[in-house]
Each structure stands twice: as structure tokens, then as C-alpha cells.
Chains A and B, each alone.
Chain A
Amino acid sequence: MKHPDVIVVGAGIVGAACAAELQALGRDVLLVDGGVPGGGVTAAGMGHLVALDETDDELDLCLLSLARWDAYLSTRTDLAEHVRCGTLWVAEDDAQMAHARVRAQRLGRRGWDAVELSGDALARMEPALRAGLAGAVRVVRDGVVYPPAVARDLADTLVALGGQTRFGTAVARIDDGAITLASGERIAAGDVVAAAGTAVTRLLPDIPVFPRKGHLAITARTPRRLSHQVVSMGYGQTAAGSDALAVAANVQPRITGQWLIGSCRQDGIRHADVDPRVLAQVLRSAIALLPCLADMKIIRSWTGMRPATYDGRPVIGRHPALPHVWVAAGHEGLGVTTAFGTAQLLADLMLDRPASIAAIPYSPSRFAHVPA
């Protein structure tokens, strides 16, 4: 076998996007996954394409990526189960409404339409919401996709462009410019990209990515209408309680007519079992916003382990000690939204061209590297 220019380890939405991007830019790419494309966290999450703005650099990465999503989806709407439902950031009280207003202004300034809604206008727009909410911000261009289908499509795109894939084959180790498979086979390459989600730390111990657990549930199809992805303004702001559990309602309409309900954040838990106590809290918070959920039917519930980092930013760039190893991991709850932007930024760095957005906030070097 001819050695590839680049081996991408991990065919989640992030790795698959990186692989397709690098191949499209003329590198010879081999994409390797221990399972199937999109079968990791990418299959467990919600698929909300959402502009988040907790920091300026987060918004930069989101907007870079969302523009790329627009281009991708203009050719593949059906495949991705895409719907441009918009996001409703729902404020339960005046304090949350003030935060929502700031968000609307920040997004609006960057050309990502966000409209402030009064409590009455909100009730007219989304009648399933409970009465008496303070208001909302409606982000018109946010949307929803089915992420594993996109990861699979990106892997197919890679192959169509002349790249290669090896699935069902775990990588046991990453060296500078080579990987070793669990079978012992060693494959050399010009560069290796570690995009193995929460498993990155096992392969590269000085890149700390840890699991942040979320619970989800999905209803049976229903004739009830929900037009937007509804997210409580408390989302992402909810501090974890003493039991390290943060819950904020997040309900997403799927094109099947199902409602997907999330989500919560829990650290320090490594088993992926559904915990009925936690699921109950997630459902209660969703019902508090959308009372009709109380008599709908949940047909499945599951969990997902978000690949998280200690500063809440993904790790994108060159490994601090291994010049031929690159990292694209740690996207926590935003990896679907930011996958294409990540791929673009990583390609900028690997091809040594001017970076599309500031790369420093994402640099793997920010985790102090202690030479062995």
C-alpha cells in the first residue's frame, strides 16, 4: 500500500469533516475508525446547528462553520435530514431576557439574524410553550441535522475524491507520523490527525479530553407542532449542583415528527447507562417549558459522552511535542456545528496558509506539555 499523506484517526463528524477537507485540498488521506463512521458521540447527540457566543472565538468558529454547513446542505438537504427550524432561546424571567437580548445583539452584529420576541409574540409563534414566559430570542438561520448520516456521507465523499478508509479497525497507538493498529500493523504517513473524540487522551496522554455525560429521550411521532428548536436561556449557564448535574431544557423537532429531548451535563461519570433519576430531571425541565410533553410517549432514551476540555474550547492544531501529529477533538456539545470550521482551520494550519480565524485559542499547546 502506498503511504497516505495524512491518516485521520476517528470518523466522527469532526474526523470525517477533516478527512474530506484535506483530501479535497489535494492530500492523500486515510480515514481509520475502530467502529463505523458517525458511530461514536456523533450518533448520540442532538444535531443542533447553533451559533453560540459565550466567547468571541466560539462565535468565530461557529459562524465560519455554519457558512460551510450552508454550502454543504445546499447540495444534500435530504440526506442530512436538515431543517432550518431556527432556535428559540426562551427566557423564563427578566434576568434571562436581558441575557437573551445581549445574545440577539451579538449575533445580529455578525449578520446571524436574531430577533427579540415579547412573551405574547412568543406564545403566538410557538403555542406549545407554557404560558407566562418572559420572551425569547429567535435565531432564524440555526437548524437541525442528523449527524451520523453526515459523517457517513463525508466518509463516502472522501472515497469519491480518491481517499481511503479502514473501518472496524482500532488504532492502538499514535507516533510522530505513524499509527499502529490493534492488529499490530504499522502505517506511516506524512501527518496523523487525532480526531478520536473522548479517546484522544488514551492515544495522546498529554491532550486532556474527558467525558461529559448527557441524557436524551425521543418521543414517538406526534401530530403536535413544534416549529423551532426550543432551548432554555439557562442552557450552558446552569451551574452544576452539588451532585455535579446541570440540567436545562432543550427540545428539538425532527423531520419525522418526533421531539428529541435533552439534555444535561454530568462530569466524573464513566458508565453510559441511562440513570432514571437524571432522565427524570431532564424530562421535568422539558415539561416545565412544554407542558404537552407530559402526555406524549417516550420511545427511547440513551446517553452520550461529550468530549470536553477544561476551558470549554476544542483542541485544534499541532501537537506540542510531535510535529507530525495534529489534534481535532474536545468539541463538547458543539462538535456538529463546528465540524466544518474545525476542518477548515486545521487545513489552514497543516497547509501553512493564513488561518481563517484566530488559531491560538484552540492550540493544543495551551495544555502545558511536560516532556517525558
Chain B
Amino acid sequence: MSPPDLSSRVVVDGVAVDVPRGVTVVAALVAANSLCTRRSVTGQRRFAFCGIGQCQECRVTVDGCANQLACGTICADGMTIATGGDW
């Protein structure tokens, strides 16, 4: 019997990364070495701050859908994540 496949492959800004199944998009960003979720009004880099859906700093685009909270979204196999959006 083969062991269950415990990883998901997601694409962060065009780069494929494997992450354990069930982790949030924030973990995938870290795995992809991308410590930026979006840009503020003045162009500053932002990243997950509170990690519990309150601060709203970690908004990314998931599968083309803007303004998703990276800390509140679980990675799914084949997911594409785009960072650096300015809204």
C-alpha cells in the first residue's frame, strides 16, 4: 500500500511549490520565499501580520479572484496565487 500523498502543488507568482496538504496560502508564500502579499496605497510591501483574518494585510489573488485572505485560505492542489496586487 502506498502512503497517502500529503502534499499539494500550488503556483505562486508563476513558481511551483509543494506544500503540506492543509496549510494556508501564507505558508505557501513562505515556501516560495515571497514575503509580500500586496502593496499598500503608497506602494509599501505588506505581509500577513495577525494571521487570524483580522488585519486584512495578507490579501492576494487566488485563481484570479482578488482580495482573498492568504491566512484564511487553504492551499488546494493546482491553485494559482498572485501577490503584489495594489488593492
Q: Which residues of A contact B (CB under 8 A)?
A: 220-223, 256-257, 297, 299-300
Bound form: Cα–Cα A81–B41 in Å = 12
CB-defined contacts of B59 to chain A, threshold 8 Å: 220
- In the complex, the answer to whether B41 meets A220 with C-beta atoms within 8 Å is no
Bits for B38-65, please: 1 = Cβ < 8 Å to A, else 0.
0001000000000000001001000000
Bound form: Cα–Cα A223–B61 in Å = 14
Secondary structure at chain A's binding surface: helix, strand, loop or mixed?
loop
Q: Which residues of B contact A (CB under 8 A)?
A: 41, 56, 59, 67, 86-87
Contact count A vs B, C-beta below 8 Å: 15
- Provided the pairs A257-B87, A297-B67 are in contact, do residues A221 and B41 lie with their beta carbons within 8 angstroms? yes
Q: Smallest CB-CB separation from A81: which chain B residue?
A: B41
B42 to chain A, nearest CB (A): 10
- In the complex, the answer to whether A256 meets B41 with C-beta atoms within 8 Å is yes
- Provided the pairs A256-B41, A297-B67 are in contact, do residues A222 and B56 lie with their beta carbons within 8 angstroms? no
- In the complex, the answer to whether A300 meets B56 with C-beta atoms within 8 Å is yes
- In the complex, the answer to whether B87 meets A299 with C-beta atoms within 8 Å is no
Bound form: Cα–Cα A297–B59 in Å = 11
- In the complex, the answer to whether A223 meets B87 with C-beta atoms within 8 Å is yes
CB-defined contacts of A257 to chain B, threshold 8 Å: 41, 87
15 contacts between A and B (CB under 8 A): A220-B56, A220-B59, A220-B67, A220-B87, A221-B41, A221-B86, A221-B87, A222-B87, A223-B87, A256-B41, A257-B41, A257-B87, A297-B67, A299-B56, A300-B56
Smallest CB-CB A-B distances: 6 pairs: A221-B87, A299-B56, A220-B67, A297-B67, A256-B41, A257-B87
CB-defined contacts of A220 to chain B, threshold 8 Å: 56, 59, 67, 87
B21 to chain A, nearest CB (A): 27
B46 to chain A, nearest CB (A): 12
Q: Smallest CB-CB separation from A298: which chain B residue?
A: B56
CB-defined contacts of B41 to chain A, threshold 8 Å: 221, 256-257
Bound form: Cα–Cα A257–B85 in Å = 13
Q: Smallest CB-CB separation from B87: which chain A residue?
A: A221
Bound form: Cα–Cα A297–B62 in Å = 14
Task: Output the residue of B41, B59, B87 with the most chain A CB within 10 A.
Answer: B87
A201 to chain B, nearest CB (A): 34
